[in-house]
Amino acid sequence: MLIAAIAGVMTWSLLEYLIHRFAGHSRGFAKKNPFGVEHTAHHSRGDYFAPWWKKGLFTLAFVAVVLPVASALGGVAIGVAYTAGLVGFYLVYEVLHRLLHVWEGVGPYARWARRHHFHHHFHDPRMNHGVTSPLWDIVFGTWRRPARIDVPVKLAMRWLRDPATGEVYAHLREDYALRGR
């Protein structure tokens, strides 16, 4: 069951990359699918996230498809473990993604995840599609090491700017700068 749960986690990790890269950023296709429409809104307004009820409906529909198939292939216990790993890591992704935008975070992983993700947002949307991990970006050749992230003033995250001065907080200036003043 542990192996099935880990397989579910890895499946979500791959789906996170593929959905983001192709449904969110493929020319033409991104404008024709619900994820692409929401994703475009997220890129143009950095604090926008699809409503929870849309994500909830997607998750329920996904479970309704995956659980019976996984159970038929591996038995009920394996199917439940696989589905739990997949959906559980999807929820980790959703929480992490939102936190990257609304909270500075602490520790090396948070620093890495913010820089990796905001390189994608503000420098090159063709790169760094993984939010939770660079694994699939490395495998598929879309990983780039971020340099300093130049954030457009109109999209600057609240945790980035000192409200008294409007400038990037001193402890973040090595990683971030504002552009478009």
In a domain, 120, yes or no: no
Q: Reply yes or no on whether the pLDDT at 181 is more than 70.
A: no
Instruction: Report how far residue 84's alpha carbon sits from residue 112's, in angstroms, rounded to the nearest whole number.
Output: 27
Give per-residue pLDDT as tens, 47-103.
899 999 999 999 999 999 999 999 999 999 999 999 999 999 999 999 999 999 999
In a domain, 105, yes or no: yes
Q: Reply yes or no on whether the pLDDT at 164 is more than 90.
A: yes
Task: List all residues 6 or more positions away from 153 whose beta carbon is below 8 Å from its beta carbon.
Answer: 178, 179, 180, 181
Q: Reply yes or no on whether the pLDDT at 30 is more than 90.
A: no
Verify that 38 and 104 share a domain, yes or no: yes
Question: What value does the mean pLDDT take over residues 6-34?
Answer: 93
Q: How many domains does the chain have?
A: 2
Verify that 133 and 79 share a domain, yes or no: yes
| Domain encompassing residue 171 | 148-181
Verify that 167 and 140 share a domain, yes or no: no
% of the chain exceeding 90 in pLDDT? 88
Instruction: Report how far residue 178's alpha carbon sits from residue 181's, in angstroms, rounded to the nearest whole number.
Output: 8
Q: Tokens 């329920």 identify what position?
A: 60
